[in-house]
A and B are shown apart, each in its own frame.
Chain A
Amino acid sequence: MPVKAEIKPAEPAMDNASEGKTKDFTSSGYYPDDFLVTKLIKLNNLTFSYDKQNQILTNINLNIPTKQFSLLVGPTGCGKSTLLKILAKLYPEFAGQLSGTVTLGGLKAAMMFQNASEQFTMATPREEIIFALENLCLNKAQYLKQLNEAVQFTQIDYLLDQKINTLSGGEQQRVALAVLIAMNVDLFLFDEPFASCDPAARKFLIAKLAHLRDQGKTIILSDHVLAGYEGICDNLFQFQGKRLVQLSQAEQEKLLRKNTDSNSYTFVLPKENDRSCFTLQNVQIRQNRLLLKQEHLNIVSGKTTLITGANGVGKTSLFNALTKMIPYSGSITYHNREINKLSTRKYLLHVGQIFQTASDQFINVSVADEINLSKKKRTNSYFTDDKIAAALSSLELDSLLDHVVYSLSGGQQKKLQILLMLISDQDVLLIDEPLSGLDADSAVKVMSLLRESQKARKQTLLIISHELKNLADWCDYHLIFKDQHLTYTNK
C-alpha cells in the first residue's frame, strides 16, 4: 500500500540554497562539479499510480538541474504527462496515489497542459492573465508590467481581447505560454507545447524558451518531435521501459542531431485531367474573420494530399466545412454534387474526418466497445477481424481493451482514433494532425497502417500536418495554405 502523498511545500529560497549545497555532494556521480552550486529538483523513490493495479511511475530517482533546459522523451503512455503534473503539484491532489518525495528546490512551478484549451477559466487572454495574477496577489502596477512583458515575449497583442474558444490550437498554446510568463514562475513545465505549432512558430517558441532559460528560469519540457533542440537542450531524460535515465552528453547530441530536419522535399503537381474528388468554386470560409477565399481548386481523387500552413490560418476550419460542421459560401462539390445538398447522414459515410483532438471521435466508453462498434458497422472486406487484432497489437492497444477511452494517454487515444476511422468505410478521410502526440515508433506504425489501407482501398486522404519528415515521401501532392489561399506546390 503506497504511503499517501507527501510533497514538501515550497520553502523559502534561503533554506533551499543551503540544503541544495550540502545534500548535492552525496547525489549520484554523473553530474560535473559545477552543478554543486546549482540547486536541484529531486525525485526520491517516486512511485505513482492512478489505480491500485497499474503503477505508471515506479521508483523514479532523479535530479534535474535548475536554471537549465531539460527535455523529457519517451514512448506514448510512458508517464511523461503524469510526471510533469506531479512536478506541478497537481497530482496527487487531483488524482492518483504517490509515494516517495519530490522537492522543487524552492521553485515556484506552473505547467502548460497538452490540451491548452482546457486550461483557461476566463473568456479572453487578458481576463485569464488578470485571474492568474490576482491569484498570486499582485497589484495593478505589477500586473501592467508583467502583462506587457508576457505580451511582448509571446507576441500575442492582437489576441488579447479575442474569445479564447475562437482561437486556433496553436494560438491557444501561445496564449497559455503568455499566462505562465506573466505569472513569472521559476519552473516552467510544458507538456508537448508545440504539438499544434507550425515549424516557424515552433522555432520561434523554442528560441523564446531558450531565452527564458538564459534569464535564469528552469524549463522542463516533454516532446515527441526532437527537431530544433540541438544546441538548446541542456539535459535529456529518456523513459526506457519503467526507468527514467539521463542520456550522456554524447548520446544526447547524437539523438538530437539525428532528428534535426534539414531535408528538402519534392512533390509532383496534379495534372489537369486528374479525376477530382472535391471541387471548390469561389469558396469563402469565415470563422470570426475570413479564412479562405478560393476561386478554384480540385482535390485529386484516390491520392494523398498534404496540407501545411501556419497556425490559425484555417486548416481545421477547411476540414470542418468539408464535413458540413461549419457553413461556407460559394460551391464545394463532392464528385460533382454540391455537398450542402447531400444528406449529411449519407455524406458522412463517404467523407470522414479524423479530429485533431482524439477524444472527440469516441462515442462509446471502453476501448473494446469502440472497436466492436466499428466492427459491427463496417462493410469493407479490407479490415478483417484478424487484421484488426493485428493492428491492435502492433499499436500496443490490445492490453487496454477494458480501459475507458478517456483514461488512455494522449498518444494511445490518437492511435485508437485513427484505427477506428480506418475500419470505418469512408472513401475520403480528412486527417487533422495524425502524428501529434505520437512517439517515433508509434508514428511509423500509424503511417504504415494509413498507407496500406490507402493503397488497398484507393482512399482519398487529405492530411494536415506539420511533420513533413514523416509524410513527405508518401504524400502525392502538397497544398500550402497561406493568405486565405490554397496552392499546390512542388516543394
Chain B
Amino acid sequence: MNPSFKFILALIISIEISLKSSLLTNLLIIFFALIYLIYKHIKLSNLFLTLFMPLIAAFTVFATLYWFSSQPSLQNALSLSSRIYVYTLTIYCVSISTTATELARSFEQYFHLPSKFAYGVLAALNIVPRMSEAVKQIRTAGMMRGVYLSFWSPVLYFKAILVALNSAENLAQGMASHGYRENAKRSVIAAVPVKKSDWLQSIAILVLVNLALLTLK
C-alpha cells in the first residue's frame, strides 16, 4: 500500500477509536495487527518489546480507572487501556513495511509536503548513525587525551552538538551542490504509486472498523 495511505489510515483509526469506546473493536484491531506483524516476520524480541513497553502506560490507565475511580467500570478501564495498544500496534504496522524515505517521498508527491522539510528530515535521519558513531569517537578521543567523558557529561553533548551543527551546515551546502534549490520545481523519477487496490483496501478496512465500532460494545 502507498505509505501515505497507510499512515493516514492508521491516523483515522486512532482518532475514531479515541472518540467511540468499544473494547471488542480494540481487541479485534489488536488481533489483526499482531497477525499482520507476525506475517511480516518481525523478530520475537521486537514483538515482546512492543507488547511490554506500552504495558506501563496501559497499566497506569487501567489502575486509575478501575482501582482509583469513584465509579469503577471494568469495561471502561479495559477499553481505554487497550487503546494504547491500538495506537502502538497500528503505527508499528505502518513503520514495519515503510522506510522513512518512502514515507517522505510519498508525502512530497501526494500531499505537497515542502521538499525542504522532506529532505531535511531524511538527511537528518541519515546522520543519526553517524552521530552515534561520532559520540563513540568523541569518547575515545577524550580518553586518549586523558579526559573521561561519561554519558551524562555536558562536554560530550556540547561536542556532539558542534559536530551536528557542522554537519548541518555542510549538509545544506551538499544539497545545494547536488542541484537542490528551495521552492524550485522538481521532477519525479522514483514515483511512489497509488494503486486502485490501495483505495479499495483502505476503504474496506475503514468500513469494517466503523461497522465494528457501531455494532460491538
Interchain CA distance A453-B19 in the complex, whole Å: 73
Query: Which of B122, B163, B176 has its CB near the most chain A CB atoms (within 10 A)?
Result: B176
Q: Which B residues from 136 to 178 make CB contacts under 8 A with A?
A: 136-138, 140-149, 155, 159, 162-163, 166-167, 169-178
Q: Decide: B101 and A119 in contact? CB cutoff 8 A.
A: no
Is A122 part of the contact surface with B, judged by Cβ < 8 Å? yes
Q: Decide: A90 and B173 in contact? CB cutoff 8 A.
A: yes
Which residue of the partner chain, among A93, A132, A360, contacts B178 with CB atoms under 8 Å?
Answer: A132
Q: Decide: B173 and A349 in contact? CB cutoff 8 A.
A: no
State whether A134 and B186 are in contact (beta carbons under 8 Å apart), knowing that A88-B177, A122-B122, A424-B145 are contacts in the complex.
yes
Chain A nearest Cβ from B157, distance in angstroms: 12
Interchain CA distance A421-B146 in the complex, whole Å: 11
B138 partner residues in chain A, CB cutoff 8 A? 360, 363
Q: Decide: A362 and B122 in contact? CB cutoff 8 A.
A: no
Chain B nearest Cβ from A129, distance in angstroms: 9
Interchain CA distance A420-B145 in the complex, whole Å: 9
Q: Which A residues from 119 to 134 make CB contacts under 8 A with B?
A: 119-123, 127-128, 130-134
B149 partner residues in chain A, CB cutoff 8 A? 363
Q: Decide: B141 and A362 in contact? CB cutoff 8 A.
A: yes
Q: Decide: B126 and A406 in contact? CB cutoff 8 A.
A: no
Q: Decide: A325 and B136 in contact? CB cutoff 8 A.
A: yes
A362 partner residues in chain B, CB cutoff 8 A? 141, 159
B101 partner residues in chain A, CB cutoff 8 A? 122-123, 127
State whether A374 and B145 are in contact (beta carbons under 8 Å apart), knowing that A110-B178, A123-B126, A360-B134 are contacts in the complex.
yes
Q: Decide: A121 and B189 in contact? CB cutoff 8 A.
A: no
Chain A nearest Cβ from B159, distance in angstroms: 6
A130 partner residues in chain B, CB cutoff 8 A? 189-190
Give the contact-size bracket for chain A: 35 or more
Q: Which A residues from 80 to 126 make CB contacts under 8 A with B?
A: 85, 88, 90, 93-94, 110-113, 115, 117-123
Which residue of the partner chain, among A94, A127, A132, contacts B173 with CB atoms under 8 Å?
Answer: A94
B45 partner residues in chain A, CB cutoff 8 A? none
| Minimal Cβ-Cβ distance residue in B for A424 | B145
Which residue of the partner chain, among B146, B162, B163, B171, contacts A424 with CB atoms under 8 Å?
Answer: B146
B144 partner residues in chain A, CB cutoff 8 A? 323, 348-349, 352-353, 421, 424, 426
Interchain CA distance A90-B174 in the complex, whole Å: 9
The interface bits of chain A over 134-165 (1 if a CB of B lies within 8 angstroms of the residue's CB, else 0) are 11111110010000000000000000000011
Which residue of the partner chain, among A135, A325, A365, contacts B179 with CB atoms under 8 Å?
Answer: A135
Is A355 part of the contact surface with B, judged by Cβ < 8 Å? yes
Which residue of the partner chain, among A110, A121, A136, A143, contacts B123 with CB atoms under 8 Å?
Answer: A121
Q: Which B residues from 77 to 101 make CB contacts under 8 A with A?
A: 101
Q: Which B residues from 13 to 58 make CB contacts under 8 A with A?
A: none
Q: Decide: B170 and A118 in contact? CB cutoff 8 A.
A: yes
B171 partner residues in chain A, CB cutoff 8 A? 118, 121
Interchain CA distance A336-B183 in the complex, whole Å: 61
Q: Decide: A119 and B177 in contact? CB cutoff 8 A.
A: yes
Chain B nearest Cβ from A403, distance in angstroms: 14
State whether A131 and B119 are in contact (beta carbons under 8 Å apart), knowing that A121-B175, A165-B129 are contacts in the complex.
yes
Q: Decide: A121 and B137 in contact? CB cutoff 8 A.
A: no
Chain A nearest Cβ from B126, distance in angstroms: 5
B177 partner residues in chain A, CB cutoff 8 A? 88, 90, 110-113, 119
State whether A406 and B140 are in contact (beta carbons under 8 Å apart), knowing that A121-B119, A134-B186, A424-B145 are contacts in the complex.
no
Is A401 part of the contact surface with B, judged by Cβ < 8 Å? no
Is B187 part of the contact surface with A, judged by Cβ < 8 Å? yes
Q: Decide: A118 and B167 in contact? CB cutoff 8 A.
A: yes
Is A344 part of the contact surface with B, judged by Cβ < 8 Å? yes
| Minimal Cβ-Cβ distance residue in B for A365 | B162
Is A183 part of the contact surface with B, judged by Cβ < 8 Å? yes
Q: Which A residues from 343 to 365 make CB contacts under 8 A with B?
A: 344-345, 348-349, 352-353, 355, 359-363, 365
B200 partner residues in chain A, CB cutoff 8 A? none
B181 partner residues in chain A, CB cutoff 8 A? 135
Interchain CA distance A93-B130 in the complex, whole Å: 26
The interface bits of chain A over 416-441 (1 if a CB of B lies within 8 angstroms of the residue's CB, else 0) are 00001100111000000000000000
Is A373 part of the contact surface with B, judged by Cβ < 8 Å? yes
Q: Decide: B155 and A183 in contact? CB cutoff 8 A.
A: no
Interchain CA distance A363-B155 in the complex, whole Å: 8
B137 partner residues in chain A, CB cutoff 8 A? 325, 355, 360
B187 partner residues in chain A, CB cutoff 8 A? 133-134, 136-139
Interchain CA distance A15-B148 in the complex, whole Å: 62
B129 partner residues in chain A, CB cutoff 8 A? 165
| Minimal Cβ-Cβ distance residue in B for A166 | B129
Q: Decide: A135 and B143 in contact? CB cutoff 8 A.
A: no
The interface bits of chain B over 90-120 (1 if a CB of A lies within 8 angstroms of the residue's CB, else 0) are 0000000000010000000000000000010
State whether A363 and B178 are in contact (beta carbons under 8 Å apart), knowing that A118-B171, A122-B101, A406-B166 are contacts in the complex.
no
Chain A nearest Cβ from B96, distance in angstroms: 18
Interchain CA distance A220-B153 in the complex, whole Å: 44
Is A306 part of the contact surface with B, judged by Cβ < 8 Å? no
Query: Which of A128, A183, A360 has its CB near the most chain B CB atoms (within 10 A)?
Result: A360
State whether A348 and B178 are in contact (beta carbons under 8 Å apart), knowing that A138-B189, A139-B189, A143-B189 are contacts in the complex.
no
Is A179 part of the contact surface with B, judged by Cβ < 8 Å? yes
Is A52 part of the contact surface with B, judged by Cβ < 8 Å? no
Q: List residues of chain B with CB under 8 Å of any chain A CB.
A: 101, 119, 122-123, 126, 129-130, 133-134, 136-138, 140-149, 155, 159, 162-163, 166-167, 169-181, 184-190
Q: A118-B167, A360-B134 are in contact. List 4 more A-B contacts (CB 8 A).
A: A90-B177, A121-B123, A132-B180, A377-B145
23 contacts between A and B (CB under 8 A): A88-B177, A113-B173, A119-B173, A121-B126, A121-B178, A122-B122, A122-B123, A123-B101, A127-B101, A130-B189, A131-B119, A133-B187, A134-B186, A138-B189, A140-B189, A344-B143, A355-B141, A360-B134, A377-B145, A377-B147, A424-B145, A424-B146, A426-B144
Q: List residues of chain A with CB under 8 Å of any chain B CB.
A: 85, 88, 90, 93-94, 110-113, 115, 117-123, 127-128, 130-140, 143, 164-165, 179, 183, 323-325, 344-345, 348-349, 352-353, 355, 359-363, 365, 373-374, 377, 406, 420-421, 424-426
Q: Which 9 A-B pairs have the closest CB atoms?
A: A135-B179, A377-B146, A119-B174, A118-B170, A132-B178, A348-B143, A137-B187, A352-B144, A121-B123
